Structure 1
Amino acid sequence: MLLKQLSLTNFRGLSDISIDFVNENGKPRLLTLFLGENGTGKSSFLKAIALISAGSNALSNLLGNPNDWITFGESFCEVKAVFVTKDARNPKERNVSLRINRGESIKDILVNNSESLDEIDKALDYAERNYFILGYGASRRLNKNQSFNQPESSYNNDRTVNVATLFNTEANLYPLAAWVMELDYRSDGKSIDAVKNALNEFLVDVTFDSIDKQQRTLLFSNGKDLIPLHLLSDGYQNVSAWIGDLLYRIFNTFGEQANPLQTNGILLIDEIDLHLHPKWQRRLIGFLKIKLPNFQIIATTHSPLTAQQAGEGELIILSRNEEKTIDAQPFTAAPNTMLLHQLLLSPVFGISSDESLETEQLKAEYEEEKNKHGNTKRVKELSKQIEALPQVVRPNMVADDDVLDLLKTINAELQK
């Protein structure tokens, strides 16, 4: 199951927005990145997708206070989605909608939307793995629980737990060490290599080495030393935590398959590059696309390094228009064909120069002082300071809309 279209009305400040998740051939694209300033609704898109695909049982756990989903001052909100089964011979579209009226109870919402939600509920009744979806919020962190038991949770539904961190900052990921040790115990060591290989493929510059059964922890190697999981840097802990949880949920659901990572599904990640070094940011999307080739990845980012990995149509820009409502528009070129500074200086990041803020302010003061008062003593002082700055070896290439259109045209010609 993949997502083709999402429409939101009065949903957490998003007034009337529709986004297509398809490529030029009309097939669902497997990567979409949302980029925008804080407060433009990036996380809300991920939550809307999680809600509309949850099914009735999970939905009752995720909604919380229903009024909180409705834009302040409005009487209702609505989420509509078009899903398609990933069946090359006979793909089927399913239209699903969820309407929440202000003042309704969760029971009222489920009853009033039962006909639409029935599309997903029937699929889930047939096989729980249908409409497989995983979601990770920005507060994901390593769960250091060493118990073999399922972590305590207020949720009683696997589909709810699969997206819980998107909705609850206190929700736990499945403890990586506990799962790996449990798997090792149950399989008498026979299944651990598959997990070790999968985990190592996602990590950069460290590898999962072994299990310290006496200390009940996992040991990782940086090529020189062995380091317990809980002593890895925050960046490694963050990635190993949600990657480990992702692997657990995929293997737990599709473990009988020859290669569980080849399964289909939707992966939602808020702030995908959280805690990551720039070198790692540049590689993460590529790793996910290679290792989860049939997953539809939908994520948010603030980073030009992450945005640069998107192809044409894969980067959605969220911004406020003159009416102060949110617009969602595809980036007008292919970020993965642009230089990093071209992307950073494009209108989507709102940065006019790649010089330091101090240098930019110095030059601005020089221009203002010279225009107002002529060649004053202060202007001469500023001029000397500017002349003393290191020489720029290339011009600042601000990629405005005209430049982006030209790049797009050139790229189209090269493809012929």
Structure 2
Amino acid sequence: MPGPPEPLIDACQNGNCVLYVGAGVSAPAQFPVWKTLVEDMMSWAGSEMSMSPSLLQAVEGAVQAGEFTLAADSIVSELQSGDELEHLHAYLQHIFDRPADLTPLHQLFRELPLSAVITTNFDRMLEQTFPEAGDRVLTPHDTERLLELSAKREFFIAKLYGSLDRPETLLVSPAQYEDAIVGNRQFAEFMESIFVSRTLLFLGSSLEGISAYLEGIRFRGGEQQHYALVAVSGSAWKAKAAMLQRRYGIQVLAYPENDAHPEVYAFFNRLVNEVKRRERASSRTTATLKRVVLENIGPFEHLELELTNTWNVLLGDNGVGKSTILKAIALAMCGRDAKPYANRLLRSGTRHGRITLETNQGRSYATDIFMSSRGIEVESRPVGIMEIEGWLALGFPPIRAMSWRGSFGPQGEPALQRPTTNDLLPMMSDEPDPRLDEVKQWIINLDYMKRTADDDSQHDRAFYSRLQDQFFDMIRTLTGELEVEFAGVQPEMWQVMVRTDDGLVPIESVSQGTAALIGWTGLLLKRLYAVVGDMENPMQAYAIVLIDEIDAHMHPRWQQSLLHDLSKLFPNVQFMATTHSPLVVSGMQADQVFRFERDAEGRVERIEVPQDMLFGRADQILTGRGFDLLSTSDYETQKLIQEYKELVRQSHRKPAADDKAAQPLEHRIATLEAQLRQRLPTPEEEPVKRRAIELIDALLDETLSADLPEAKDMLRDRAQKLFDELERQPERWR
């Protein structure tokens, strides 16, 4: 048989291979394979249990015909109806709950850097092989924990048919397993996420067994390649192998059927040697969100966006779909959990829309929103993008504020958690974000743990103290000179107290803009520590943040520095935000800014923003391609400018002989010039410098006659140069 394929070696080398272990792997240790187990169960049920002769005869007929799955289902169904399953569980413990020496093949398993092991076996040989798995030996009853470990790429053993230590988890027949999957959508999505994000290697199972396992979780494969090492005979297997390749991307690595199966050991021995021979990748690179495609979503018939892995800021008038883009990304990540909000995104007059997210590593995730006889439906393929990619993604609606609702007392040490759709759903609801109060509770918990942590805690007291300091250091960086310092927790009402320029106040008393900033950045920090708290510095982790109106309630000075400060604090977070502020986008790269406007027919289109339109003063950016304002002057000044321009055009059209008629026109033009001189400031940015230039202009007007414009311009230029020199070298003028 051929050696291990290169993609399989690469998957093992990079810790991306999941081993699927069937009963054939434990057969050398004298544990029964499926056929033998069903025959033994039939004999036991006939002699030890009250199975009717007619049913026993039917089961025997099924076994003789090779219908072992049907036979097992019949036995389990009969015992289930008689409330005698506990006897079957005891029988299984008698067969499988015994010590056994590891086989040479199991020893080879230990040499591979596997991502996980999935098995239908009841014996404990895999637990013996990987003792480091510890409490990470899980069943379909432990879906939440499986999702957490999968997202973090931590090793686990998944026992699909349950564990002998937990009889309530045991599943004996394929029908029981299929029923369990149908009743546990979250587990089915977990299995699909494993299938589309890892490379599976099937071992110890027949082609029929592999097909039954895959059909039980009811999904088709994607672009991921998988492998099955299978003993075969005759030629009928080729059609089954072709079906597995076509439907699930499983390449069958066939070898002649025999009793000893030496080909399996030789294959794994070579696989281990090949992996060892190569330098293993130090870590798997986290993918980033690279491309978003919307079809019939919001105002967009078709939209494609190529994202940067740092900042992506959306500009445009109200009603052009900026918030819709953020909500569409959130919905695609949430899948069915966002179904209550899906009808808000479907384009008017259409019955089907699609959101496609693509990573920089080439993986694609499509979510369809469509109308059916049951109403709005949401289907994602593959499901569970956050679980597959291991992404933490958070979404923040435009209204972000802390409430005065009281906090609870200390709630102890939070356990590590996984990313969930609850991190994104508040963005979809169009309601004020309710999560910002969680930050207050988190501060209370940190304050408690920094004083009470002991040897049984996850971290020492210094860790919680540093984390609390890190939170307030972050706020200090974002708010500049504003004083917001932690002053303690008031235990009577469990209020977080902060020291501000106004004295000691509850944290809820800070301004709306400060509270919003504390809330959403604090929640980001909290979730990073909850999900990747085992990293040396979770602030260095990758995450996706979707935030609507990032500049809301913020002073212009904060808006100017916000993006720079956030990038410094969270260098690997990918932000996607909307704004109406020129100060936010000032100095950004053109590929980080996306502007939308409606054309003459009312269709929304993307407008390219030239790089030079993102540099300069705020008024220059506002009148550039990023915002397309005609003027930054107030409304009354714009009316005066328009009148002035119109009168000047009229004066140019008057005949020279009509001097008397032109006098009122010239008087009005002179009046407007005087008014506009007062209303339109000089282009200097600093107020003191601007006032000085205006004073010089006034002195020049009084001193020099109107027929000496060149002299006035020369003196004004000289004054400007002196001001510039003073700015460059102020010490020379002291």
> TM-score of the superposition, structure 1-length normalised?
0.79
Deviation at 1:179, TM superposition (A): 1.2
1:394 and 1:278 map into 2 onto residues whose CA distance is 19
Structure 1 counterpart of 2:435: 173
Q: 1:96 aligns with which of 365, 384, 388?
A: 365
Task: Point out where structure 1 has 5 or more consecutive residues left out of the alignment.
Answer: 23-28, 85-91, 125-129, 151-156, 396-416
Q: SS of 2:610's equivalent?
A: coil
Structure 2 counterpart of 1:259: 537
Quote the sequence identity (%).
22
1:354 and 1:135 map into 2 onto residues whose CA distance is 32
Query: Is the 1:78–1:97 contact (alpha carbons within 8 Å) kept by the matching residues of 2?
Result: yes
Deviation at 1:162, TM superposition (A): 0.8
Q: 1:42 aligns with which of 295, 317, 322?
A: 322
Q: SS of 1:256's equivalent?
A: coil
Structure 1 counterpart of 2:296: 10
- Are 1:81 and 2:357 an aligned pair? yes
Equivalent AA in structure 1 for residue 343 of structure 2: N
Query: Is the 2:401–2:432 contact (alpha carbons within 8 Å) kept by the matching residues of 1?
Result: no
1:122 and 1:244 map into 2 onto residues whose CA distance is 23
- Are 1:209 and 2:471 an aligned pair? no
Task: Point out where structure 2 has 5 or more consecutive residues left out of the alignment.
Answer: 1-286, 412-417, 453-460, 655-661, 685-734
Query: Is the 1:311–1:334 contact (alpha carbons within 8 Å) kept by the matching residues of 2?
Result: no
* Residues 8-407 of structure 1 aligned to structure 2 (within 5 Å): 8-22=294-308, 29-54=309-334, 59-84=335-360, 92-103=361-372, 105=374, 108-110=377-379, 113=380, 116-118=381-383, 120=385, 123=388, 130-145=390-405, 146-147=407-408, 159-168=420-429, 169-175=431-437, 176-188=439-451, 190=461, 191-202=464-475, 203-204=478-479, 205-214=482-491, 215-222=493-500, 225-333=503-611, 337-369=615-647, 371=649, 375=662, 377=664, 380-381=667-668, 383-388=670-675, 389-390=677-678, 392-394=681-683
Deviation at 1:379, TM superposition (A): 6.1
- 1:107 to 1:9, Cα distance in 2 relative to 1, 3 A: closer
Deviation at 1:309, TM superposition (A): 4.0
Deviation at 1:239, TM superposition (A): 1.0
Deviations 1:1-35 (A, max 9, x none): 4211101111011111101114xxxxxx3111001
Equivalent AA in structure 1 for residue 486 of structure 2: D
Q: SS of 2:588's equivalent?
A: coil
Query: Is the 1:82–1:96 contact (alpha carbons within 8 Å) kept by the matching residues of 2?
Result: yes
Deviation at 1:271, TM superposition (A): 0.3
Structure 1 counterpart of 2:25: none
Deviations 1:133-181 (A, max 9, x none): 011110121144412599xxxxxx9622212331121441142221111
Structure number with greater Rg is 2
Equivalent AA in structure 2 for residue 172 of structure 1: P
> TM-score of the superposition, structure 2-length normalised?
0.46
Deviations 1:267-296 (A, max 9, x none): 111000100000011111111101110111
Q: SS of 2:575's equivalent?
A: strand
Q: SS of 1:102's equivalent?
A: strand
Q: SS of 1:306's equivalent?
A: helix
1:377 and 1:107 map into 2 onto residues whose CA distance is 69
1:136 and 1:320 map into 2 onto residues whose CA distance is 26
- 1:363 to 1:336, Cα distance in 2 relative to 1, 3 A: closer
Structure (1 or 2) with the greater helix fraction: 2
Deviation at 1:361, TM superposition (A): 0.5
User: Number of matched residues?
Assistant: 364
2:643 and 2:320 map into 1 onto residues whose CA distance is 32
The higher-RCO structure (CA 8 Å, 6+ apart) is: 1
Deviation at 1:201, TM superposition (A): 2.0
- 1:394 to 1:65, Cα distance in 2 relative to 1, 3 A: closer
Deviations 1:99-131 (A, max 9, x none): 122236589533xx4xx223627627xxxxx12
Query: Is the 1:174–1:245 contact (alpha carbons within 8 Å) kept by the matching residues of 2?
Result: yes
- 1:255 to 1:322, Cα distance in 2 relative to 1, 3 A: same
- 1:353 to 1:134, Cα distance in 2 relative to 1, 3 A: same
